[in-house]
Amino acid sequence: MAIDLWELAAGQIGIASRYVEYENTGELVEATASGAVDIAVTNMTVTRERAERIDLTHPWFDAGQRILVRQDSGAGAGDLLRGLNESGHLQTYAGIALVIVLATCLVTLFDRKFDHDFPKRWRDGIAESFYTVMSVATSGKAPARKNLFGWMGRIWQGLWLVCGIAVLAYVTSSVTSVMTALSLTNQINSVADLPGRIAGVQPGSVSEDYARQAGLNTRPFQHIDEAADALADGAVDAVLGDAPVLEYYTHKNPGRGLTVVGPIFAPDKYAFGLPHDSELTRPLSVEIIGLHESGRLAEIRARYFGNE
């Protein structure tokens, strides 16, 4: 968008352009301040520090910072196991497993003594008993068994089923509660969720300054493509950047599984940068104002971001 706007304004002023690419905004500001370039054509955020070093045109875009994250940034199996362990559920599971082993042995001994149709080989008998115990523990229902003790046997079987239902309910509820807690804590919805995470930023950008002031852990990337690749691979947890840049990237790359979240924070404006006392500052600002008044600036914006 910045180049489209510049070429439209430059055409009105009658200026020919030759483009020189710089790695990041910081290097471009340095080149502009030294006079190595006549104008910095990019989404340059207006800041006091930059205004002290270079001239800035009339702002042409209201922007701010947003956060790029993975759409599937939920918890994995490792996170679930850690959550169960930290909540003390794994110790309880170990106790349940021990009870299942003991119950399997007791059922085997009981059926070998009282059920004449029970398998004679220990291996087959233990397998049959283990299946019975696990059926009760995992489904709350026992396989068809011979009632050896009349009404007392039925009461015992009923109590055994109640225990199985309780075990099943406990395991289900504990896993669900831990997964819910992990889902809430792992999601990144705003800046408040970033402490303790690694955020990708562009060197010399407003997002880097903001992250540094907020005490966030950062990893530098020269281009949005590099940052997005690292995010998709899990090398970083989020990417901080100018809202229009992140929104345009997700608009052009819908299949990457990335999304922009949270409201705009650190609101700012975009302008073109020029060396101090440049003769182009005033006429370029006048053209930008004219393009805004005529609606041409809004048309350019709509081509990139829609009519929202």
> Cα(64)–Cα(269) distance, rounded to whole angstroms?
7
Q: What value does the mean pLDDT of the chain take?
A: 84
Q: Is the pLDDT of residue 146 over 90?
A: no
Residues 173-191: tens digit of each pLDDT: 888 877 766 655 557 888 8
- pLDDT at res. 77: 64
| pTM across the whole model | 0.54
> Cα(238)–Cα(261) distance, rounded to whole angstroms?
10
Residues 10-48: tens digit of each pLDDT: 988 998 899 999 988 889 999 999 999 999 999 888 989
Residues 268-304: tens digit of each pLDDT: 899 999 999 999 999 999 999 999 999 998 888 888 7
Q: State the angle between helix axes of 122-139 and 150-186 in degrees (0 to 180), rounded to the nearest 10.
A: 60
Please count the other Cβ atoms lying within 10 Å of the Cβ belonging to residue 31.
17
Sequence spans of domains, the chain? 48-73+189-305, 77-186
> Are the C-beta atoms of residues 182 and 84 closer than 8 Å to each other?
no
Query: Is 3.10.50.40 the CATH number for 48-73+189-305?
Result: no
On the 0-12 / 13-18 / 19+ scale of CB atoms within 10 A, 209 is middle
Residues 84-135: tens digit of each pLDDT: 777 788 888 888 889 888 988 988 888 788 777 778 888 888 888 888 878 7
